[in-house]
Amino acid sequence: MSHTPPKRIDAHFVAAGKYHDIDYARLELLKLLAEHPYVRTTVACDYGDIDRIKQCRFLVSYTCDLMPTKEEATAIRSWLETGGKWLALHGTNSILVFTESGLVDAPNDRPDVMEMLGTQFKAHPPIGPFRVEVVNRDHELTRGIDDFDVVDELYLSHTTAPIDTLMQTHFEGDATGFVDGKWGATSVPILYTRDIGKGRIVYNALGHCRGHYDLPGMADFYPHPERCAWNYDVYYDLLRRGIEWALREGD
């Protein structure tokens, strides 16, 4: 009895940006993608290769303070509307501007991108522990996962469009160093989906990482590398589930 091998699936991975160990995240995610030998992944440092994205079943992004141009964002949205999938990670929704006072602002300069993603990063408190609550326990991305504790950089965001929150946490307090530094009690989406036409975005806000050499112009040598959620098996489980979702045709 002959066995029909799986068909090739193409993916595009944008890994770039500031203040993070992009090399580490890039390597870890490529290893997870390589668990599926029929996946052929191209890697880029921006969103410029729209022709390649259009050839792919899904897009993965691990970025910080990196936006597609307006033309690229329009093309990505059109690709999503026809059935594309985007696994967006950690700082994909971030724009960062240092003000004269030394505070970090997250200006609403790209409402087109933030509306597409469903949230916009605004601030984060110092790295520390928080509880992740599973809101929807009957979804393929969360089924069988219990609430868990994690030490990570908690991204506080404003919701910009309808999203379906699968995991969340709660925060009240100070995000020191940011213009939006005071936060009343709020629910913070950690894992959510956003439907656009026939396509879908899955956003996972966990996964900060920083190495010794990731703050050029600020610190020549950062003494305490940070791996945060990458230290937890549950994070790799969520990443694998996200990739499995992206590999499949349809929802």
Phi-psi region of 83 (alpha: psi -120 to 50; beta: other; left: phi over 0): left
pLDDT band, very low/low/confident/very high, at 226 (cuts 50, 70, 90): very high
Cβ–Cβ under 8 Å, residues 238 and 191:
yes
Domain ranges of the chain: 9-247
In this predicted structure, what is the pLDDT of residue 251? 73
**Dihedral over alpha carbons 119, 125, 129, 130 (to 10 degrees):** -40
In this predicted structure, what is the pLDDT of residue 225? 96
* Residue 214: partners with Cβ closer than 8 Å, 6 or more residues away: 19, 20, 21, 22, 222
Report pLDDT digits (tens) over 161-213. Answer: 999 999 999 999 999 999 999 999 999 999 999 999 999 999 999 999 999 99
Taking all residues of the chain, what is their mean pLDDT, rounded to a whole number? 97
> Which CB contacts under 8 angstroms, 24+ apart, belong to 184-190?
186/156, 188/154, 188/155, 188/156, 188/157, 189/119, 189/157, 189/159, 189/163, 189/165, 190/132
pTM: 0.97
- The SS3 assignment for 228 reads helix
Q: Is residue 141 over pLDDT 60?
A: yes
Cβ–Cβ under 8 Å, residues 98 and 130:
no
In this predicted structure, what is the pLDDT of residue 3? 80
In this predicted structure, what is the pLDDT of residue 1? 56
CATH superfamily placement of domain 9-247: Class I glutamine amidotransferase (GATase) domain (3.40.50.880)
Mean per-residue pLDDT for 30-54?
Answer: 98
Cβ–Cβ under 8 Å, residues 42 and 28:
no
Strands of the chain, DSSP E: 9-17, 39-44, 58-64, 85-89, 97-98, 104-105, 119-123, 128-134, 148-152, 156-159, 164-174, 182-196, 199-204
Q: Is residue 2 over pLDDT 70?
A: no
Question: How far are the Cα atoms of 100, 103, 104, 171, 215 from residue 220, in angstroms, in the given order?
Answer: 22, 21, 20, 32, 7
Report pLDDT digits (tens) over 80-102. Answer: 999 999 999 999 999 999 999 99
Cβ–Cβ under 8 Å, residues 222 and 233:
no
In this predicted structure, what is the pLDDT of residue 47? 98
Question: How large is the C-alpha radius of gyration of the chain?
Answer: 18
pLDDT band, very low/low/confident/very high, at 240 (cuts 50, 70, 90): very high
Report pLDDT digits (tens) over 14-38. Answer: 999 999 999 999 999 999 999 999 9
